[in-house]
Chain A
Amino acid sequence: MKSIVFCGVRGGTGTTSTMAAIGQALHALDEKVLMIDLAPSNLLNLHFGGSPTETKGWARALVDGRPWHEAATELQSGLHVLPFGLLNQTERLRAPQLPRLLWQSDAARMAALRAQYSVVLFDLPSTEVTNSSVMLRSDLQIVTTEADPASCALLAKLPPDKRRHYLITRYDPVSRVQRDIRLLWQSRLGPNLLPQVMHRDASMVEALCSKAPVGRYRPESLAAQDAQHIAAWCQSRLRSLE
């Protein structure tokens, strides 16, 4: 079982939507996928038909002392999502420590997990991009960013890490600034910049309106094709790590 963590270099780069699209594309490539939402905003399950006021989630279960794995939802055979759950203000303060409790689950549980899924995707909030145990434990780290000058500055501040890969989202080739920044990152980051970008596409927004991943909402769109290509890249990357 391999794990990929998605994190934004800052908030609002479309990390959750991208991860939902890629998770669905990985499932279409015959992987058994579990998507885990580590962000208290709990937006991942919206992409798969959940309700915004849904309280069920693994963090809710942990705080309530119930087994966390029961909070998972099966979307399709082989595609499961584990939402965060609704926490109140005080409970949210403990949120960064909660993932550690996940690792500390009993060995039998972890073995069962490994048997059931081939890829686990984590959606990490952007505030944890520098210091998270999840980042360190994952096989593949994908940091989503938009091609703008602010993100350039933020990226420069991140400590260099060979395992970290960068994915440009909402890419619009009309903008000369975006094209130039992409060229700049291609030369500066080299193989750490994903060769495929997620284009700016109204289909992504409309897909969330319909509460479906873009690959199911509009499979012929450019965003769906981008997600397919990135999923294939992830798959081959993970295989080469074995």
Chain B
Amino acid sequence: MIAARGYAALLTPLAQSALSRDYRYFRERQASEPAACLYVACLVLARSLLRLESPAWQQILGPERAAFDHLNRRALRPGDPLRYAIQALWLLCVRPAAWARLSRRLARFAAMLDGGLRRGQSWLAARYAGFMDSHAVRQATPWQDASARAAGHSLTVARRAAMVAGLALSAPLAAWCITQPLNWNSLFIFVLALWCLALVIRRLPGRMPALMLIALSVIVSCRYLWWRYTSTLHWDDPLDAGFGIALVVAETHSWLVLMLGYLQTAWPLRREPTPLPADTGSWPSVDLFIPTYNEDLSVVAPTVHAALNMDWPKGKLKVYILDDGKREAFREFAAACGAGYLTRPDNRHAKAGNLNHALARTDGELLALFDCDHVPARSFLQLTVGGFLKDRRLALVQTPHHFFSPDPFERNLGIFRSLPNENILFYGLIQDGNDTWDATFFCGSCAVLRRSAVEEIGGFAVETVTEDAHTALRLHRAGYASAYLRIPQAAGLATESLAAHIGQRMRWARGMVQIFRRDNPMLGKGLSLAQRLCYLNSTLHFLAGVPRLVYLLAPLAFLLLHAYIIYAPAIAIALYVLPHMALAAITNSRLQGRYRHSFWSEVYETVLAWYIAWPTTAALIMPSKGRFNVTAKGGQIEKTYFDWKMASPYLLLAALNCAGLGFGFWRLATGPADETFTVLITMAWVLYNLTIIGVAIAVATEAGQARRRSRVATELPCNLALRDGSSYPAVLLDYADDGAGLRLPRPGLVRQDDAVMLTLLHGGGEYLFPAMVQRAQGDAVDLALAPMDAGRHRDYMRCTFGRAHAWLDWTDGFPEDRPLRSFFGLVSMCGRGYAQLARHAPEPAQRVLRLTRTTAYWVASFAPRPIPSHAAWVEVTQP
């Protein structure tokens, strides 16, 4: 009050009223009395020192004051004068309009470049379309017909001579290209030219551009490896030498996998099914085996019903349940539905022993094998058996494993049906590529084998834990052929938790290395060179545990221990490593982009690396048979939790990498200046590692699933009959063994707990299934199907899982692979992973994290904000 009277004496009435208005404004904004006085004083200072009424200031302060919205909308806080000042300064300096114009211009320029590039590509494609995809280029290789191969006429003399001549010409050229050293300028131009060429070629359709890209990538990668071996292996320090050798070995492994991968996937065969003869009397008899051990009957019953529904002449198909669990319920079930039931006194050799036991007690000409949760479609036999009749030496036809439930990656990262899963690369591309070289191997399920061939090699292989691949190897050695049909005719359940998934992969890894040690595909007779290399690549893929760990820890050798792992200047690293990685990424994106997006291979490898490193190394040294751990099928995860046990290796790796990052900053601050570039590159590498590890941590957060059974998404017409006699056409949106989801024509037709009849339409017939409404939201209805007897269950399988075209869209609906976009997607998943880790962390850690977060938000609140776009008053035309 005294102060007020003092002001009254000093100021004119106008100034007095202005000041008291401002004071009242600040008090309304919930500032305390002294704070309000302080703010008023600041305002007076601002008005006297700065010319707030000048046009430049008015433009910023503006009638709407939209620029200060984020501050005006809440109560005043102590630091607010500083915040206002920073925002005003930023607006003065930055000129959002100019920035917006600049970014628009840049976007237009980029679009123009992209458009020009695409026009050039389409011109090239149109002009050389005949050349790119000509019939001569697409012609099948001679290895498709194994009978011809057995007769020894696979390669005519002329063809052989042409191949030899081609090799004789190109080998020295390639060797010169790879080993010729270049100085920095030439190397830069060379690498730039190759990169531009790759960018142009990669969008052109056809097989030829893919082969050209492979050639470019092979040149660059071989140059890189040659340079590594010839120029970077000098070490004075034993520590340097140790780490350096580890890294070189890891890189050699990756190079080998890359090269063999190109060989495997350069030319997918895309085999067509062989039609069966019209006379069904000549069709062979088939025994269908469904081995089971400890799975629930509810998991096996759909498979048995679908198998009984298969389209095959009556009497020529016999379905057998091979029950190693010797359960009475299964015996009764088999008797009730007309399937055979076989069991044995012991459980020696697990699944392989089970199959061999059944082999001796059945007599069909062909064997069809299905895992107990792989539900076959009705057309499986009609698509696969034709080849056996045409080709006497064909012993195996394999079809893809498709999963209608999400695997741990898809479920925990939330990418089910929006990104290709781990499975699709192998069954969509690699097996297809193997088929070109007649190296398709048996995958344990969804396949048909010739009984005489299996008996000739002594039954299913029991010496290793992956009896399927070993059996296929033995069949190949005996001179039989194998085929792969890239049409999914069965679908099953994916592993339901990360622990189960890793357990399954560990078994595969151990088994493949056991095969490598005991029955090495590179040695021994009976295999062609290409077959050996394909088997070798499969083994090398599972030996990637140790190299991946090396990659994850290599930058730390420099940052933590100051060990020089690559003896080369930073510029050399940039000019050799970056093109090698870039071209490999571009080529793989082109070859595999439909089946696996960029950078996801690193994620899958990282998740498995720690777990398969030891078993594979042990199996390399001591290949005695490990324990066959059965993959648990059909379980479910109730609620979300963080799998600490599984995630502990990733946490360790992340902690080490974070330590490396910290050391990196320290070295930047205190180390010698000429090392700065090296430290920066190494820290970038560490950041990349942290991103991949973050995604692995995100996978370790097990997301709970609300439903007991996974639903298969679909869109089929169906009818719903209500109790009152009215019926409505509906659309079946998803189905499972015990429930279905529908969309009705309009909301409000059913209520919860209504009893309804679901009619599914199939093959001109209508099949009814009583159900109860579990949930009705708008026009979407969730039904629980009433328990069904065997006959009705079979009808249900016929209408849903057993449809011939049920899984044909398995690779549809995935977006195109864009490497940068894929990487940024991974970055966001990595962020979620670390956030989940923080959320599930123990309490002391959570307190620290909360404190850090609060501090970070407080600091960030001082940052200036851009003006929201609707306040377009800044768009005053400026010269």
**A interface, CB within 8 angstroms of B:** 173-174, 179, 183, 186, 195, 199-203, 206, 218, 220-223, 225
**Minimum-distance CB pairs A-B, first 3:** A202-B725, A220-B745, A222-B727
Task: Indicate if B456 sits at the interface (CB-CB under 8 A).
Answer: no
Residue contact B726 to A221, C-beta cutoff 8 Å = yes
Q: Assuming the A-B contacts A220-B745, A220-B746, A222-B719, are A179 and B725 also in contact, with contact meaning beta carbons closer than 8 angstroms in the complex?
A: no
Given A220-B746, A222-B719, A225-B729, A202–B768 Cβ distance below 8 Å? no
Give Cα distance in the complex from A137 to B719, angstroms. 37
- Verify if B675 is at the interface (C-beta below 8 Å from A): no
Closest to A220 in B: B745
Q: Once bound together, how far apart are the Cα atoms of A173 and B759, in whole Å?
A: 8
A186 touches B727 (CB 8 A): no
Residues of B whose CB lies within 8 Å of any CB of A are: 719, 721, 724-729, 744-746, 757, 759, 764-768
New contact pairs (12) apart from A179-B765, A220-B746, A225-B729, CB-CB < 8 Å: A173-B759, A173-B766, A183-B765, A195-B764, A201-B726, A201-B727, A206-B726, A220-B728, A222-B719, A222-B728, A222-B729, A223-B727
Q: Which residues of A contact B764 (CB under 8 A)?
A: 186, 195
Q: Are B719 and A199 within 8 A (Cβ)?
A: yes
Q: Counting chain A CB atoms within 10 Å of each CB, which of B726, B744, B759, B767 scores highest?
A: B726
CB of B765 within 8 A of CB of A202, answer no
Name 23 interchain pairs, CB-CB below 8 A, sorted by A.
A173-B759, A174-B757, A174-B768, A183-B765, A186-B764, A195-B764, A199-B719, A200-B725, A200-B727, A201-B726, A201-B727, A202-B726, A203-B727, A218-B726, A220-B728, A220-B744, A220-B746, A221-B727, A221-B728, A222-B721, A222-B727, A223-B727, A225-B729
With a 10 A CB-CB cut-off, give which of A183, A199, A218, A222 has the most chain B CB atoms: A222
What residues of chain A lie closer than 8 Å to B728, measured between beta carbons? 220-222
A223 to B726, CA, bound (A): 9
Q: Which residues of B contact A220 (CB under 8 A)?
A: 728-729, 744-746
Closest chain A residue to B767, Cβ basis: A173
Q: How far is the CA of A181 from the CA of B312 in the complex (A)?
A: 25
Which residues in A have their C-beta under 8 angstroms from that of B725? Answer: 200-202
CB-defined contacts of B765 to chain A, threshold 8 Å: 179, 183
CA A201 to CA B122, docked complex, whole Å: 56
Complex: A223 Cα to B729 Cα, angstroms: 9
Question: By the criterion CB–CB under 8 Å, are A199 and B727 in contact?
Answer: yes
Report whether A203 and B719 are in contact in the complex, using a CB–CB cutoff of 8 Å: no
Task: List A contacts of B746 (CB < 8 A).
Answer: 220
Residue of A nearest to B727 (CB): A222
Kindly report which residue of chain A lies nearest to residue B724, judged by CB atoms.
A202
A2 to B728, CA, bound (A): 31
Binding site secondary structure of chain B = strand
Interface centre among B725, B757, B759 (most CB of A within 10 A): B725
How far does the Cβ of A59 sit from chain B's closest Cβ, in whole Å?
Answer: 35
Closest to A195 in B: B764
Q: Which residue of B lies closest to A206 (CB)?
A: B726
Determine the chain A residues whose CB is within 8 A of the CB of B729 once the complex forms: 220, 222, 225
Q: Which residue of the partner chain A has the closest CB to B729?
A: A225
Name the residue on A nearest B722 (C-beta). Answer: A202
In the complex, A223→B725 CA distance in Å?
Answer: 11
Q: How many angstroms between the C-alpha atoms of A170 and B30 in the bound complex?
A: 75
Measured CB to CB, the closest approach of chain A to B265, in angstroms, equals 46
Chain B residues with Cβ under 8 A from A221's Cβ? 726-728
Q: Which residues of B contact A179 (CB under 8 A)?
A: 765-766
Query: A129 to B250, alpha carbons, bound, how many Å?
Result: 87
B746 nearest in chain A by CB position: A220
A233 to chain B, nearest CB (A): 15
A174 to B744, CA, bound (A): 21
State the Cβ distance, B798 to closest chain A Cβ, in Å. Answer: 14
Min CB gap A237→B, angstroms: 19
Find the B residue at minimum CB distance from A218.
B726
What CA separation (Å) do A225 and B719 show in the bound complex? 11
- Please report the C-alpha to C-alpha distance between residue A241 and residue B339 in the assembled complex, in whole angstroms: 51
Q: Which residues of B contact A199 (CB under 8 A)?
A: 719, 727
The docked-state distance in angstroms from the alpha carbon of A220 to that of B719 is 11
- Residues in A with CB closer than 8 Å to B745 are 220
With CB as the reference atom, state the residue of chain A lying closest to B770.
A174
Looking across the interface, which residue of chain B has its beta carbon closest to that of A178? B766
How far apart are B143's CB and chain A's nearest CB, in angstroms?
46
Chain B residues within 8 Å of A186, by CB: 764
Nearest A residue to B759, CB-CB: A173
Please report the C-alpha to C-alpha distance between residue A122 and residue B856 in the assembled complex, in whole angstroms: 82
Report how far A201 CA is from B724 CA in the complex, Å: 9
Bound-complex Cα distance A225 to B757 (A):
18
A203-B759 contact, Cβ under 8 Å, with A173-B767, A173-B768, A174-B768: no
B799 CB to closest chain A CB (Å) equals: 12
B716 to chain A, nearest CB (A): 15
In the bound complex, residues from chain B placing their C-beta under 8 Å from that of A223 are 727
CB proximity of B60 to chain A, nearest CB, Å: 58
CA distance A206 to B724 in the complex (A): 11
In the complex formed, the residue of A with least CB distance to B779 is A220
**In whole angstroms, how far apart are the Cα atoms of A202 and B766 in the complex?**
19
* Chain B residues within 8 Å of A183, by CB: 765
What residue in chain B is nearest A172 (Cβ atoms)? B721
Q: Which residues of B contact A222 (CB under 8 A)?
A: 719, 721, 726-729
Q: B726 to A203, Cβ gap below 8 A?
A: yes
For B757, the chain A residues whose CB sits under 8 A away are 174
Bound Cα distance A104, B724 (Å)? 48
In the complex, what residues of A have CB within 8 A of residue B727's CB? Answer: 199-203, 221-223
Minimum CB distance partner of A186 in chain B: B764
Report the separation of the CA atoms of residues A223 and B767 in the bound assembly, to the nearest whole angstrom: 18
- Give A188 to B722 CA distance when docked, in angstroms: 32
The minimal Cβ–Cβ distance linking A149 to chain B, given in whole angstroms, is 20
- Chain B residue contacts of A203, Cβ below 8 A: 726-727
CA of A50 to CA of B374, assembled, Å: 60
Separation of A179 and B725 alpha carbons in the complex (Å): 18
Most buried by A among B757, B765, B766: B766
Complexed CA–CA distance, A175 and B766 (Å): 11
Please report the C-alpha to C-alpha distance between residue A55 and residue B744 in the assembled complex, in whole angstroms.
Answer: 42
Q: Point out the residues of chain A lying under 8 angstroms from B744, CB to CB.
A: 220
Q: What is the minimal beta-carbon distance from B791 to any residue of chain A, in angstroms?
A: 11
Nearest B-chain residue to A226, judged by Cβ:
B729
- The distance from the CB of B372 to the nearest CB of chain A, in whole angstroms, is 32
With a cutoff of 8 Å between Cβ atoms, the chain B residues found around residue A206 in the complex are 726
- Complex Cα–Cα for A223 and B765 (A): 17
Q: Within the complex, what minimum Cβ distance (angstroms) separates B586 from chain A?
A: 51
A173 to chain B: closest residue by CB: B766
The complex places the Cα of A186 from the Cα of B765 at a distance, in Å, of 11
CB-CB nearest in chain B for A203: B726
A174: B residues at CB distance < 8 A: 757, 768
Question: In the assembled complex, how far is the CB of residue B743 from the closest CB belonging to chain A, in whole angstroms?
Answer: 12
In the bound complex, CA of A218 to CA of B721 (Å): 15
Chain A nearest CB from B755 CB (Å) reads: 13
Q: In the assembled complex, how far is the CB of residue A123 from the closest CB belonging to chain B, in whole angstroms?
A: 24
Give the docked Cα–Cα distance between A186 and B729 (Å).
Answer: 23
Q: In whole angstroms, how far apart are the Cα atoms of A195 and B763 in the complex? A: 11
Specify which chain A residues have a CB less than 8 angstroms from the CB of B724 in the assembled complex: 202
Q: How far is the CB of A179 from chain B (nearest CB, A)?
A: 7
Q: How far is the CA of A183 from the CA of B764 in the complex (A)?
A: 9
Q: How far is the CA of A76 from the CA of B535 in the complex (A)?
A: 74
- Alpha-carbon gap, A201 to B719, bound state (A): 11
Assembly CA distance A203 to B728 (angstroms): 10
